[in-house]
C-alpha cells in the first residue's frame, strides 16, 4: 500500500496535531525539549503530551495514551526509554497516527536486545503502514508550520526563516550543525529530518518525499551509507523529473574518512568512487565542504531559469577581484568570453579608465555615478549575451542607501532579461541581504564562492538537459550470449562480448602450430600470438604474448617459444592452444571494466590505459546500465581524455565508438548482474574518428555461487 | 642612503604628527575624509590641516604650508588635484617630512602629463629621501596608533582591532574590500597600505618594512605585477629570516584573469607559473580565494610553536564531520594516523559508543560530561602524539557557559602540551570567539577550513626547516664553458652542459660514415644515430633519428638513410655529420628546461616526459639558481612524480641525481643569464636509484642581442 504510506509521511511532515510520548515538565530533558521548543513557535496545530503520571505537562493537558485523545493525531514524537518505545508505537498505531519520530536511543547502535526491539519497530511499521523515523535520531522540522519535532539545541528559540531548501541527514550531529549554520547564515529552510537508525523511513524515502513536496526546490542530503540502491535511484530519478536540485555530502573519500564513516554507521558503504559516479549519473551535485554544500543549495533556492550555457560575464568595482573571479571561473570550466569590440568601445565611453573586456571594471566610479550599474548590466547582457553575470560590489551592502539604489536598478535589469542569472558578491548587512533575496537576487560575501555557485547552476542546467535527452541504454543484440558460469579463455570471453555488440579484434584460437600458421595467413601478417588458457589470466606474466610476428617462420618459432615458456613457468595449466590475432594499428589504449559493488551491483569503469589508471586513479564510474550520453560524460570526466583529442598531430580518436562500447559493456553487465564478478577489457584500442575501436584483450570473471 | 630611507618609512607608518594637504571641511570629500576618520580614533599625534584658504578645517587650525607648522611633521596625506601634488610634495620635502601618501589620481594611469608628473614625484623622492606612497592609492593605516591615512569607506568608524597581521595591496579596491572583511570577521590587524602607482614605495618595500616590524608576525600581500625581482627576493628572504609568515594572493592564473590583471595594472607581469614557483621557493603561501587568504593569515597570527610534523589528530562531536575532516586532511596531504590500540581501548572505556581510532568521536556525550574534552585531548596528545589536533564542537560556541567551561580545560591542555597546535571548529558568538582568541586558540566556523589552516601551518613549518637547512646552489665546476653566443649543434650543446656538471650521454660526432662505424664499435652496439645540424633543431621532424642500430651493417645503412632524408627534407641545412650514441637502458624520461621570464630572468622548469608536460602542463618552476633541496621540492610538486617511485615492479628512479641535474642546470642558466634564451634537455633519462641520470638530447638557444 504505497499510497497509504506516502500519505502517512505527509502527515508526519505536515501534522495538524502532535502527540509527545515521554513529555516531561523539565524543558532541559530530551522528553521535555520538543514540547518546549514548539510552544515558542507559531505552530497552530494541537499538542498532546502523553504521560500517564501527570494531568498536565508544561501547561498542557496530558493524556495517558493516544487512544485517550479526542481528535485525530497526525504525528507522534517518542522520547520514552528504549524498553517502552514499542508499546508507545503500538498505541500510536491503534490511534492511526500517520508517523512517529523516535528520538530514543538504545537500539541497533548498541546491539543485543536493542537490535531485536528495532526489528520489531520495522515489523510494526510494515504491518500497520504507520511510518517511523528513527530510532536514535534528532527528529524533524517543518519551518513554515513552526513544527520543531527535535531535541537538538540548534533548534532552541526557532530563529529559522522559511525557504525552499529541505534537508535530510543520516547523521543527527551533522543535521544539528547544519541547522545552526542555516540560522546563522539566514538561509531559508522548508523541511529538515535526520534518519537515525532508519528502522523504517530511510534516506531514500525522504529524498522521494521531498521530490514530491511543492514547497521544496532544493534537496540537501548528508549520506553515509545506502542500503537499497533501487529505491535511492528511484528517488533521485523522481527528484530530477520534478526539477528539484539535489546537493549532497557523502563522507569517506579518504582511507581514514572511510574507516571513520564505516565504524560510525556500522553499515556497508559502497566504494566512494561509485557514489561519485552515481551522483553524476543522476545529476546530484556532490559538495566537498559544508560551505560548498550550502552555497550551492542557497544559489539553487534563489535561481531563476536555468542558464542556457556557461558564458559568464564578470562585472566588478575592483580590477583585482575581477581577475580573481576570472581565474576561479576558468578553474570551474566557465567561459569568460570577451565582450564584442563595439560593446567594449561603448563601455569605455561610459567609464574611460574602465576595463571593458570581461571582467568589466566599473572602478570606484560607481560610487560617483550609480547609474553605471544598470548601464553596464544592460550592455553586458544585451551585447555580451552572457548566460550569467556575477557582479562584485565590495562592501556596498554595508551602505543601505547605496545598496537600495542599486537594487532598484537591478530589478529593472532582472525584468528585462528574465532568462539570465545574476549573482551579487558583496559584504552586506543582514537587512540588505534580505532585501536582495526578497527580490530573488542571491548575495555571496566572497567573490570566488559566487563564481562557484554560478558554475553549479550551469552544471545543474546541463545535467537537466542531459536527462531530458533520452539516453536509454542500448538494447542487447538479439543473439547476445549469456554470461559464462565458468572461467573462460580470452577468445571465449571476446566471443561473448562480441555477441553483446562490443567490437573485438578478429582472431582465431589455434590448437596446433599448423592451425596457427593457417590462421595467420588468412588474417594477414604481421600477427600477435597469445597463449590461451583459463589457468593463465595474466598472460604477459609468463611471457605468454608475442607481438608483430612478421611471417610464417617467425610465427612457427613463436609458437614453440610460447609452448616452452608455459611448460616451464605454468606447468599445471590447462592449455587451449594459442590465439592468432592481427596487429591492430596504433590508436589510444583505454580500459573498460566492470566491478561488482556490494551496494550498487555491477559498476562500469573507464580510464585511459597505461599509468593513468594505475598511478593516477584517473577513472570514471557509473552504476550499470548506462546510455551513450552518460558514457560520453564518463570520458569527459577523466583528465587523460586529452589523449583522445589528438595530441602531437595525431587525429582525434573515435570517442563515439568508445562511448558506445562503454554503454554496451554496462548493458551486458547489468543484464548478467547475478553471474558476473568482473570484466576487464584491457586494452580497448580507440582508433581515429570514424574508424571505431576494438577490444584487444578481455577477461570475464564469473561469480561463484 | 638606504638607512635614512628606512627611517623615513618608519615615520610614515608610525607618525607622531600628520599634515593633510587639501584638507576639506566636507568629510564626504576625499580631502576631508582622512581627517574626519582619524578624529574618530584614539590617534594621539598632532593633526595639521594644510589649506591656504582657511584658518580652520574641521575644528583644527589650518596652515598655508607645512613650513608654517611649528613642530616636526612625520607624515603627510596629499589629496590635492594632480597638478598641485608636486608643489605639495616639495613643501613636504622642505619640511623634512618622513613620508607622504598621495591619494590623488591623474598620473601614470591616465598617461600624458600625468606620466611626467609621476616621473617628477619619483625623482623628488629619490633626491630628497622622503618616501612617497602612491599616487592614485587608497592610503595607509596603523591600527595600534589609530592612524587612518585613507579615504576608503571601509575605514569609516574605525572598528578595527589590533593584531599581528599587516597587509600590503597593489590594488586599492582590493585593499578596501579586505579591510571591510577584516572588520566583519574581527581579525586583528597591525598595518595596512595600498601602493597605487608605486612612484616610489613599492610592494617589495612594504614587505621589507613589515619584515622588520616588531608588531607584525604575518604579512598578507596582494600582488599584480612585480617590476624588480631582486628587491622582492631580498624582501621575501628577510621576512623568512625574521620568522614572518607570508600569505599572498596573485591573480592572473587563467587567460582571462591574466588579461584583466595586465590591462588593469598596465605593467608587465611575469608568467603566472613563475610566480607560483617563486612563492614556493621563498616559503610564501599562495592563497587561491579570499577566504583562504584570511583563514591562513588568521591561523598564522594565532599559531604557537610551528608543528613538528604533519600528524593530525581529529576530535569531534559528530562522526560524520570527523570523517569529512579526515577526507579534507587527506586532500591536503596530512597524516591522519590512527591512535595506538591501547589508547583506543582507554578512549572506548571513557565513551563506550565513541569512535576511538582517529577521528576520535566524543559524540553528544560531551554535553552530559564536559570533562570528556580534557580527557580526550590528553590521551590524544600524549599517546597519539599528534602535532596538531583539530576539534569540531558543532555550535557549542553559541552557548557561552559551555564554551567557557571547555576553554578552561583547553587552557590546561595548552599549558601541558606547549609544543602542540590546537584548532577549534565551531559556530560561536563574537564574544566567545574573542575569549578563545585571547587564550591563543583559533576558531573556525567550517571544519574543512580548520583542516586547511592546519595544513598551512605544517607547510610553513616545513618551509622554515627547508630554509634553515643550507641549500646553496651547487658551484659551477672550475672548467665550465661559457654559454654559447651562437647556435650550437646537439653535441656542442651537451659538451657545454657536461662542463657545467650535468651528466650527458657519451656520444661522438662523426663527420663520415666510416668515422661513425668506428665510433659505434668503440661505444658498443646497439647505438642511436642522429643527424647533427644547427639548422635542424627538431631532428625527429625530418626523420633525423634512428634508434637501436644493432650492428655495423645497420649503422651504415642508417647513415645513408639519414643523409638521403636530410637532402630531401631539409636541403639547405648546414650539416656537421651525425651523432653516434649508445642506447641508454630504460629509465624514466623527464624534461629539464630553462626559459627567460621578462621579470624574473632565467627560470628552470621540470616535468615528466611525454604527455605530462604537453597535455597536462604538469610542470614545476623556480627562479634560477636553486639548490638541490629546492630541486627535490620541484620533483615532489609534479603529479607525474609517481612514475619515479617505481611502478609495476620497476626500481625507484635516482631522484637525487635528477635533483642535482636540475640544480646544476639552474646554476649554469643563472651564471649565463645574459646570454641564454632557453635550454631544453629532453629527455633527461633518470636511471634506477644509485645509477644516476643522463641527458640524451639538449638544445641551447642563445640570446640575440
- Give the best residue of B152, B168, B173, B609 to mutate against chain A (max A CB count within 10 A): B173
Q: Residue A690 region, left (φ>0) first, then alpha (ψ -120 to 50), else beta?
A: left
Which helix (H) or strand (E) segment is B612 a member of? helix B611-614
Q: Are strands B75-78 and A388-392 parallel, antiparallel or unpaired?
A: unpaired
pLDDT above 90 for B136: yes
Which helix (H) or strand (E) segment is A247 a member of? strand A245-250
- Which pLDDT value is given to residue B349? 86
Contacts of B395 in chain A (CB under 8 A): 153-154, 176-177, 180
- Which pLDDT value is given to residue B456? 97
SS3 state at A275: helix
- The alpha carbon dihedral of A559, A562, A568, A571 has a sign of negative
In eight-state DSSP terms, residue B105 is -
- Contact with chain A for residue B313, Cβ under 8 A: no
Q: Are strands B676-686 and B693-695 parallel, antiparallel or unpaired?
A: antiparallel
Q: Mean pLDDT score of chain B, rounded to an integer?
A: 91
- Contact with chain A for residue B429, Cβ under 8 A: no
Q: Mean pLDDT score of chain A, rounded to an integer?
A: 91
How far is A108 from A102, CA to CA, in rounded Å?
A: 13
How far is B562 from B575, CA to CA, in rounded Å?
A: 11
- Contact with chain A for residue B401, Cβ under 8 A: no
Q: State mean pLDDT over A593-608.
A: 91
Q: Report DSSP letters for A532-575, one per residue.
A: E-TT-SSGGGGT-EEEEE-SHHHHHHHHHHHHHHHHHHSTT---
Q: Are B684 and B695 a contacting pair, CB within 8 Å?
A: yes
In eight-state DSSP terms, residue B337 is P
- Which pLDDT value is given to residue B649? 74
In the beta sheet, which residues pair with residue B595? B603, B678
Of A358, A427, A647, the CB nearest to B184: A427
pLDDT in tens, A480-497: 888 888 878 778 899 999
How far is A604 from A627, CA to CA, in rounded Å?
A: 12
Chain B: give the shortest CA distance to residue A70, in Å. Answer: 37
Of residues B465 and A455, the one with the higher pLDDT is A455
In eight-state DSSP terms, residue B397 is B
- Which pLDDT value is given to residue B269? 44
Name the A residues in 584-643 with CB < 8 Å from any B CB: 611, 614-616, 639, 642-643
Residue for cell digits 493525531? Answer: A73
- Which pLDDT value is given to residue B540? 78
How far is B633 from B228, CA to CA, in rounded Å?
A: 25
- CA A278 to the chain's CA centroid: 6
pLDDT above 70 covers what percent of chain B?
A: 97
Which residues lie closer than 8 Å to B348 by C-beta, 6 or more apart?
B354, B356
pLDDT in tens, B164-173: 999 999 999 9
**Contact between chains at A256 and B329 (C-beta distance less than 8 A):** yes
Of B260, B323, B445, the CB nearest to A326: B260
**Contact between chains at B324 and A257 (C-beta distance less than 8 A):** yes
Q: State mean pLDDT over B425-451.
A: 96
For residue A356, what is the nearest residue in chain B, using CA coordinates?
B260
Banded model confidence at residue B6, pLDDT cuts 50, 70, 90: low
- Contact with chain A for residue B177, Cβ under 8 A: yes
How far is B329 from B392, CA to CA, in rounded Å?
A: 14
Q: Give the Cβ contact number of residue B385 at 10 Å.
A: 16
In the beta sheet, which residues pair with residue B133? B101
Of residues A227 and A469, the one with the higher pLDDT is A227
pLDDT above 70 for A46: yes
pLDDT in tens, A499-536: 999 999 988 999 999 999 999 999 999 999 999 888 88
In eight-state DSSP terms, residue A339 is P
Name the B residues in 487-546 with CB < 8 Å from any A CB: none
In the beta sheet, which residues pair with residue A604? A594, A622
pLDDT in tens, B195-209: 999 999 999 999 999
pLDDT above 60 for A4: no
Chain B: give the shortest CA distance to residue A169, in Å. Answer: 10
C-alpha cell of residue B125:
623622492
- Contact with chain B for residue A259, Cβ under 8 A: yes
All domains in chain A, ordered by first residue: 2-301 (3.40.50.261), 305-468 (3.40.50.261), 506-582 (3.30.1490.20), 588-702 (3.30.470.20)
Q: State mean pLDDT over B119-143.
A: 96
Q: Are B481 and B500 a contacting pair, CB within 8 Å?
A: yes
Q: Are A306 and A459 a contacting pair, CB within 8 Å?
A: no
Helix ranges (DSSP H) in B384-489: 400-416, 430-438, 447-468
Chain A: give the shortest CA distance to residue B476, in Å. Answer: 36
Chain B: give the shortest CA distance to residue A578, in Å. Answer: 26
Banded model confidence at residue A6, pLDDT cuts 50, 70, 90: low
How far is A645 from A648, CA to CA, in rounded Å?
A: 10
Contacts of A394 in chain B (CB under 8 A): 154, 173, 176-177, 180
Neighbour-count burial of A518, counting CB atoms closer than 10 A to its CB (0-12 exposed, 13-18 middle, 19+ buried): middle
Number of H helices, E strands in chain A: 23, 31
How far is B165 from B215, CA to CA, in rounded Å?
A: 8
- Which pLDDT value is given to residue B270? 57
- Contact with chain B for residue A109, Cβ under 8 A: yes
- Contact with chain B for residue A395, Cβ under 8 A: yes
- CA A409 to the chain's CA centroid: 37
Banded model confidence at residue A45, pLDDT cuts 50, 70, 90: very high
Q: Dump strand ranges (E) for B231-345.
A: 245-250, 285-286, 312-316
Q: State mean pLDDT over B273-286.
A: 92
In eight-state DSSP terms, residue A472 is P
Q: Are strands B285-286 and B75-78 parallel, antiparallel or unpaired?
A: unpaired
- Contact with chain A for residue B259, Cβ under 8 A: yes
Of B265, B319, B427, the CB nearest to A264: B319
Q: State mean pLDDT over A368-372.
A: 86
Q: Are A174 and A191 a contacting pair, CB within 8 Å?
A: no
pLDDT in tens, B530-550: 998 888 877 877 888 898 898
Alpha carbon dihedral A312, A313, A314, A315, in 10-degree steps, equals: -160
Banded model confidence at residue B263, pLDDT cuts 50, 70, 90: low
pLDDT above 80 for A268: no
pLDDT in tens, B487-539: 787 788 999 999 999 999 988 999 999 999 999 999 999 999 999 888 887 78
How far is A424 from A447, CA to CA, in rounded Å?
A: 8
Q: Which of A383-387, A397-401, B55-59, B270-274 has the lowest mean pLDDT?
A: B270-274
CA distances to B594, B621, B622, B625 from B673, in Å:
10, 16, 14, 10
CB pairs under 8 A between A and B: 250
CA distances to A582, A633, A648, B62, B562 from A651, in Å:
22, 21, 9, 77, 27
How far is A353 from A319, CA to CA, in rounded Å?
A: 11
Q: Distance between terminal CA atoms of chain B?
A: 34
Of residues A611 and A27, the one with the higher pLDDT is A27
Q: Are B136 and B105 a contacting pair, CB within 8 Å?
A: yes
- Which pLDDT value is given to residue A647? 76
- Which pLDDT value is given to residue A536? 84
Reference A340, options A328, A352, A348, A332; nearest CA is A348
- Contact with chain B for residue A98, Cβ under 8 A: no
- Contact with chain A for residue B355, Cβ under 8 A: yes
**Contact between chains at B324 and A364 (C-beta distance less than 8 A):** no
Q: Please tell me chain A's helix, strand, coil percentages from 3-state DSSP, rounded to the nearest 5.
A: 40, 20, 35
Contacts of A353 in chain B (CB under 8 A): 109-110
- Contact with chain A for residue B178, Cβ under 8 A: no
pLDDT above 50 for B3: no
Contacts of A329 in chain B (CB under 8 A): 254, 256
pLDDT above 60 for A266: no
Burial B612-649 (b: 16+ CB within 10 A, else e): bbebbebbbbbbbbbbbbbbbbbbebbebbebbeeeee
Q: Are A380 and A346 a contacting pair, CB within 8 Å?
A: no
**Contact between chains at A611 and B643 (C-beta distance less than 8 A):** yes
Taking CB atoms within 8 Å and a gap of at least 24, the contacts of A521-524 are A521/A552, A523/A580, A523/A581, A523/A582, A524/A582
SS3 state at B367: helix
pLDDT in tens, B649-670: 788 999 999 999 999 999 999 9
- Contact with chain B for residue A154, Cβ under 8 A: yes
pTM: 0.92
C-alpha cell of residue B659:
635533483
Banded model confidence at residue B365, pLDDT cuts 50, 70, 90: confident
In the beta sheet, which residues pair with residue A391? A315, A424
Amino acid at each position: 500500500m504505497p499510497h497509504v504510506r506516502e500519505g502517512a509521511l505527509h502527515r508526519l511532515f505536515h501534522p495538524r496535531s502532535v502527540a509527545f510520548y515521554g513529555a516531561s515538565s523539565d524543558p532541559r530533558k530530551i522528553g521535555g525539549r520538543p514540547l518546549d521548543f514548539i510552544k515558542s513557535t507559531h505552530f497552530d496545530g494541537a499538542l498532546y503530551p502523553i504521560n500517564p503520571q501527570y494531568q498536565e505537562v508544561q501547561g498542557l493537558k496530558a493524556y495517558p495514551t493516544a487512544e485517550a485523545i479526542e481528535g485525530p493525531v497526525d504525528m507522534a514524537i517518542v522520547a520514552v526509554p528504549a524498553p517502552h518505545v514499542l508499546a508507545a508505537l503500538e498505541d500510536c498505531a491503534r490511534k492511526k497516527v500517520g508517523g512517529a519520530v523516535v528520538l530514543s536511543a538504545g537500539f541497533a547502535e548498541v546491539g543485543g536486545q536493542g537490535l531485536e526491539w528495532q526489528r520489531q519497530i520495522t515489523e510494526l511499521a510494515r504491518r500497520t503502514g504507520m511510518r517511523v523515523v528513527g530510532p536514535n535520531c534528532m527528529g524533524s522540522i517543518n519551518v513554515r508550520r513552526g513544527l520543531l519535532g527535535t531535541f537538538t539545541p540548534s533548534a532552541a528559540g526557532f530563529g529559522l526563516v522559511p525557504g525552499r531548501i529541505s534537508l535530510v541527514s543520516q547523521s543527527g550531529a551533522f543535521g544539528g550543525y547544519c541547522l545552526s549554520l542555516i540560522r546563522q547564515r539566514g538561509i531559508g529552510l522548508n523541511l529538515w529530518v535526520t534518519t537515525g537508525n532508519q528502522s523504517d523511513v530511510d534516506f531514500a524515502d525522504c529524498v522521494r518525499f521531498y521530490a514530491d513536496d511543492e514547497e521544496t526546490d532544493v534537496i540537501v542530503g548528508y549520506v553515509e551509507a545506502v542500503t537499497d540502491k533501487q529505491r535511492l535511484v528511484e528517488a533521485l530519478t523522481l527528484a530530477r523529473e520534478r526539477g528539484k536540485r539535489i546537493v549532497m555530502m557523502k563522507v569517506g573519500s579518504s582511507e581514514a574518512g572511510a574507516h571513520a564513516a564505516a565504524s560510525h554507521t556500522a553499515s556497508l558503504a559502497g566504494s566512494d568512487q561509485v557514489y561519485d559516479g552515481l551522483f553524476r549519473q543522476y545529476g546530484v551535485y556532490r559538495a566537498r565542504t559544508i560551505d560548498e554544500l550550502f552555497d550551492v543549495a542557497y544559489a539553487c533556492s534563489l535561481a531563476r531559469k536555468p542558464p542556457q550555457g556557461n558564458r559568464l560575464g564578470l562585472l566588478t568595482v575592483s580590477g583585482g577581484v575581477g581577475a580573481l573571479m576570472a581565474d576561479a571561473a576558468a578553474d570551474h570550466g566557465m567561459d569568460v568570453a570577451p565582450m564584442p569590440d563595439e560593446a567594449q568601445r561603448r563601455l569605455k565611453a561610459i567609464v574611460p579608465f574602465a576595463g571593458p573586456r570581461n571582467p568589466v571594471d566599473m572602478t570606484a566610479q560607481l560610487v560617483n555615478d550609480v547609474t553605471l550599474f544598470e548601464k553596464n548590466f544592460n550592455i553586458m547582457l544585451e551585447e555580451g549575451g552572457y548566460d550569467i553575470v556575477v557582479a562584485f560590489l565590495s562592501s556596498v551592502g554595508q551602505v543601505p542607501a547605496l545598496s537600495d539604489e542599486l537594487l532598484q536598478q537591478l530589478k529593472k535589469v532582472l525584468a528585462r532579461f528574465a532568462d539570465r542569472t545574476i549573482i551579487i558578491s558583496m559584504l552586506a548587512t543582514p537587512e540588505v541581504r534580505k532585501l536582495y533575496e526578497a527580490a530573488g537576487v542571491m548575495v555571496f560575501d566572497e567573490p570566488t564562492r559566487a563564481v562557484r555557485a554560478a558554475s553549479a547552476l550551469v552544471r545543474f542546467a546541463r545535467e537537466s538537459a542531459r536527462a531530458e535527452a533520452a539516453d536509454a541504454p542500448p538494447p542487447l543484440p538479439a543473439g547476445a550470449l549469456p554470461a559464462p558460469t565458468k572461467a573462460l579463455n580470452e577468445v571465449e570471453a571476446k566471443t561473448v562480448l562480441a555477441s553483446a555488440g562490443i567490437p573485438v579484434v578478429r582472431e582465431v584460437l589455434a590448437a596446433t602450430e599448423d592451425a596457427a600458421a593457417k590462421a595467420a595467413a588468412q588474417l594477414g601478417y604481421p600477427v600477435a600470438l597469445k597463449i590461451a588458457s583459463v589457468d593463465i589470466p595474466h598472460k604477459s606474466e609468463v611471457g605468454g604474448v608475442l607481438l608483430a610476428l612478421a611471417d610464417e617462420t617467425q610465427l612457427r618459432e613463436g609458437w614453440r617459444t610460447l609452448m616452452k615458456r608455459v611448460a616451464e613457468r605454468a606447468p599445471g595449466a590447462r592449455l587451449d592452444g594459442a590465439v592468432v590475432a592481427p596487429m591492430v594499428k596504433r590508436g589510444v589504449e583505454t580500459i573498460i571494466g566492470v566491478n561488482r559493488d556490494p551496494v550498487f551491483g555491477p559498476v562500469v569503469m573507464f580510464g585511459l590505459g597505461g599509468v593513468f589508471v594505475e598511478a593516477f586513479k584517473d577513472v570514471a564510474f557509473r552504476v550499470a546500465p548506462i546510455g551513450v550520453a552518460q558514457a560520453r560524460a564518463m570520458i569527459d570526466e577523466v583528465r587523460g581524455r586529452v589523449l583522445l583529442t589528438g595530441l602531437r598531430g595525431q587525429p582525434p580518436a573515435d570517442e563515439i565508438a568508445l562511448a558506445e562500447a562503454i554503454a554496451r559493456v554496462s548493458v551486458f553487465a547489468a543484464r548478467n548482474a547475478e553471474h558476473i564478478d568482473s570484466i576487464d577489457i584491457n586494452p580497448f584500442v580507440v582508433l581515429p574518428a570514424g574508424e571505431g575501436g576494438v577490444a584487444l584483450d578481455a577477461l570475464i570473471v564469473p561469480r561463484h555461487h
